Amino acid sequence: MILVNLLENLGEKLILFLYFLGGLGNLFLQTLYWLFVPPFKKERLFEQIKKAGCDSLLIVSLIALFIGVIMALQTAVMMQRLGSEMYIASIVAVSIVRELGPVITALVVAGRVGAAITAEIGSMQVTEQIDALETLAVNPVKYLVVPRFLALTFTLPVLTLYADIIGVLGGYLICVYKLAISSTLYLQITFDSLLYKDLFTGLFKTIFFGMIIALVSCYEGFNVEGGAEGVGKATRHTVVETFILIIAADCFFTALFYFIFP
């Protein structure tokens, strides 16, 4: 009996997951269609770019700086035992540019911007504002999803590049002012250890991270039910789902770029 209940629960979860993926795919296709249908409202796009990009600079700066400092401190413990402090720069730079910068930035934006998008659209859903848009012959996907989709897709790579620079700066501060490594040597090792492929792959996958955040947050917002409690539940689902999908996508791209097509 326990086994039957377990299988039923697993089957139910699988059906819900497939339904979720189908809904995301449907929303993605609708977004691509309305992306090329006029009129194009640049003002709404710039407004969303400000919310997703400019307003996230402070928190991204703080987290990237601390990540760089922590990486340098943790690496220094092992490198000092081996007498190889000069290699701290290369480890910090490669780790941040390849993985930590893109993933941490995406998770921060997902928690900050994605949750806000779901709450905003969810509130519109429960107060029937989306129905009012349809009554006025305004397509909700065109009006609500497309600007956020474009803003996150374009903004996240820029934020990631900024986070990479701040993270490397954090490692620089520790190595130069605590470990007494020459500033010139640190910068030289940093640039020598980085390849164009590292920077390209790190920025390329953030385009998909931005798409994931936009689609999941808008999808959950459109499917809110149950008033204020439903908005809170949808917001929680958005954060959890985007985190999981971002990590899964990062795993896929890492395997693709460094193992399948090295």
19 part of a folded domain: no
Q: Is residue 247 part of a domain?
A: yes
Instruction: Specify the amino acid at residue 225.
Output: E
| 137 in any annotated domain | yes
Query: What's the rounded Cα separation, in Å, for the pair 179 and 51?
Result: 39
Interval 60-119: pLDDT, tens: 999 999 999 998 888 888 877 777 777 888 888 999 999 999 999 999 999 999 999 999
Host domain of residue 208: 43-260
Is 242 a member of any domain?
yes
Establish if 80 belongs to a structural domain.
yes
User: Among 206, 193, 200, 185, which Cα is nearest to 93's?
Assistant: 193
Q: Which of 180, 247, 198, 205 is nearest to 97 (CA)?
A: 198
Q: Does residue 238 belong to any structural domain of this protein? A: yes
Residue 31 falls inside a structural domain = no
pLDDT at 249: 93
Contacts of 57 (CB under 8 A, 6+ apart): 159, 162
Q: How far is Cα 214 from Cα 116, in angstroms, rounded to an integer?
A: 11
**Cα–Cα distance for residue pair 99/104, rounded to 1 Å:** 8
Residue 2 belongs to some domain of the structure: no
Residue type, 206: T
Number of domains in the chain: 1
224 phi/psi in degrees, rounded to 5 = -70, 135
Per-residue pLDDT reduced to its tens digit, 198-254 = 889 999 999 999 999 999 999 999 888 877 788 888 899 899 999 999 999 999 999
Mean pLDDT for all residues in the chain: 87
Residue pair 97/202 in contact (Cβ under 8 Å)? The answer is yes
